[in-house]
Each structure stands twice: as structure tokens, then as C-alpha cells.
Amino acid sequence: MTQARPLEESARSRILAAAMRRALVLAAQGPPHGPNPRVGCVILAPDGSVVAEGFHRGAGTLHAEAAALANARDVDLRGTTAVVTLEPCAHHGRTPPCADALLEAGVAEVHVAVVDPNPTAAGGAARLRDAGVRVETGLLADAGEELLRPWLHAVRTGRPYVTLKLATSLDGRVAAPDGTSRWITGPQARAHAHTVRAQVDAIAVGTGTALADDPSLTARVPEVAEGHDGGDAHQPLRVVVGHRALPDDARLRGPGGELLHLATHDPAEVLAALAARDVRHLLVEGGPVLATAFLTAGLVDELHAYVAPVLLGAGATAVGDLGITTIGDAARFETHEVRRLGDDVLVVARAARRAAADGTTADGAADNAADSAAHAPATRRTNEPDGMPHAHPTKEDH
């Protein structure tokens, strides 16, 4: 392949961008949960044609670059270009470093979307450059960052990315005055919430919700409900926060993800315990006391507000007193997405990015989490490997 005709620079840029878009699509086929990032890789011949593709299928499987190289086993890869969504790793896990594998294959050029922030795995770009390979980073970096958002956040801050789910009436209530709360939102909103459960590593509720609602906290996505993939479906770790004990016959002890009961009221402690278990993405599903605690601690990175066209006028609100006394101190988020789900609306909002003194910006929640990050163990990219649906949810979306 080394003898192929070189491309014009502009044509080459277009081909590289297209290859990166394809690599991102491939990466998205990997599991969004688990300790490892989703990564895709496309290998191009000098004439710009695609020689091989690969993506990472989760912890314990080949990295994207290794998967692409394996798919091109009988091809001479000397002089080719690798387009990868995340910087190739430089560390020995179960497999040799991807940077070394690319070097051995004779890859001449590497284009990366996102530089790996993980100190254990980083350094692949430097290793490749040292060996004479041209390495460019930042190609479609925004799209790469978006794909890896929870993972990058967890690795950069040392604590899981926190999504807070709220399912409310138009007036922000989660239950009527008598405590009934079943089905404020409709089936499409509930189905969407289950797909989110299937994407996260862990779900947390307070003991109040665990005792009042007896939820199962399983991911009941259509494939699981229909039994197509029930055996292998990912079920997130189920986390209950608070001191009270759960009854022996609690549904949380039934089929589903592992149950972890954390006898604390401190959200930072919760996140540190989960970081120690390589949890990258936590979904907090309430109730109001736990939601308020995470918001007050500044530990919510993303809000999923499912709002139903229902008015209650009285009853518990989704969020309690945040200690805010004036509008200027409101906890503000930035709308990322608005989606109609049947009669309901989902608003996905993210912690506002704040300008820092040095002119850079940072996630508000990440800033506030500095304390928790300080005592949370460093997360790492690892090669270690990382139920059944419940048919009778009792209350709102459990």
C-alpha cells in the first residue's frame, strides 16, 4: 500500500472527517455502561479507501484498534492511516498496548478525536510520535466528547457522572397529597426511562422510596420484556441510600442488578463508594430527599425531567428546599435536548458551564464536586471484565 498515489490535502481532510464520523458510529455500537470507554477505529489505505474497521465491545474484549487490526489480519497495513475516536492506549492490560499494535502493523498516521485523560492508559500519541508516526488529535473532538461524556467526566473528576431523573406533573409534583404517584407520566416516557437505566452503571434511590414503593429498579427495555435478550441484558447496580434496613422480601433483593445498601446521607460518600467500583454513570431516581441532597451538594451533572400535562396543586414536589433564597442563586442548568414522548415532554438539561478566572470553562457540578473527587479513588481504563424484568411496578416508573 505504500506505493499508492497520495491524495490532495482537501480531499484527504474530507476523507479523514468521514472516517472519523464512521468511527464514531462504530464506537456508539459498544456498550455505554461499564468501566471502559466506547471507541471506534477505521483504517484507511493511502488512497483513502477503508481497509478495516473495529470497535470496542466492552471490558474484557479487544480494544477498537486491535479489533480493526484483527479484521485486517491478511492485509499489508504498512503506510495506512488509523482514525480512532480516543487516543490509542499505551498500557499493558490483557492485550499489548494499542499504540504498539499500530506500530507493529506499520500504520504511518493516526488521527484521534479525544485525547485519553486516563493517566493509566494515556501516552499512546507520544509513543507513536516517538516512533515516527504522524499523530493528529482533535478531529471531530466535540462529537467524540459528547459520545464519551459520562466516561470522560468520571475519569477526569474521579467520580461518576450523575444524571438525576425527575418525573413530575406540570407543577413539579411527584405525588398527590395521599401519597399516590403511580403513572404521572405515560408509557412512552416510562419506556424511555427504562432505556436510560439500561445505559447506566448504577441507579440510586433513598430508603424512603425503597420502602414506600418497593421498586425493583431493573432495566425493562423492549428486548428484555419480550425475552429476546433477557439473559444477557445489562442490569445496573441497584443502590439504596439511607440508614433504614430493607425488608427481606424487598423486590430490590429479587432478580436484577446487584444490590448495594449505603448507610449514609452524604452524596459525596455515595459517589466515592461507586467510583471505587468503577461506576462511571449513576442515575439518581429520587425520591425528593435524595434528589435534594445531590442538588444541594452540586453533584448533579444532567437532569432528565419527564413532565406530564397533569396538575396536582398539592403533594410532594420533586425537589425540596435547596437553600436558595433569591432568584440570582437559582440552580441553573442548560437545556441540551427537548423531546416529546407521547403526551409528556422530556427535558434533558446539563449543569451550566461556568467561566473560570483563567478564561476557561468548567462544568458547574464538576467544580462543586472537587471535595468528593479528592477522596474518591482514581478511576482507570481497565481490561477486566466487568435479570429479569419485574412485571408489577407499584408506583411512578419503578
Ligand X SMILES: NC(=O)c1ccc[n+]([C@@H]2O[C@H](COP(=O)([O-])OP(=O)(O)OC[C@H]3O[C@@H](n4cnc5c(N)ncnc54)[C@H](OP(=O)(O)O)[C@@H]3O)[C@@H](O)[C@H]2O)c1
Q: Per rule CB under 6 A, is residue 287 in the interface with ligand X?
A: yes
Neighbouring CB atoms inside 10 A of 329's CB total 10
- Stretch touching ligand X by CB under 6 A, among 57-65, 96-104, 153-161, 389-397: 389-397
| CB 257 to ligand X: min, Å | 18
Q: Per rule CB under 6 A, is residue 344 in the interface with ligand X?
A: no
> Which residue is it, cell 473560570?
356
Whichever of 35 and 206 has its CB closer to ligand X, that residue is 206
Q: Per rule CB under 6 A, is residue 202 in the interface with ligand X?
A: no
- Stretch touching ligand X by CB under 6 A, among 73-81, 112-120, 200-208, 336-344: 200-208
Q: Per rule CB under 6 A, is residue 208 in the interface with ligand X?
A: yes
209 is in an annotated binding site: yes
288 is in an annotated binding site: yes
Reply yes or no on whether 223 is catalytic: no
Q: Per rule CB under 6 A, is residue 213 in the interface with ligand X?
A: yes
| CB 291 to ligand X: min, Å | 7
Catalytic residue among 65, 87, 109, 396: 65
Q: Which residue positions form the known binding site for Zn(2+)?
A: 63, 89, 98
* Interface with ligand X (CB under 6 A): 167, 174-175, 179, 181, 184, 205-209, 212-213, 241-244, 265, 285-290, 293, 316, 395-397
Active centre residues (catalytic): 65
Q: Which residues are annotated as a binding site for substrate?
A: 167, 181, 183, 197, 217, 220, 285
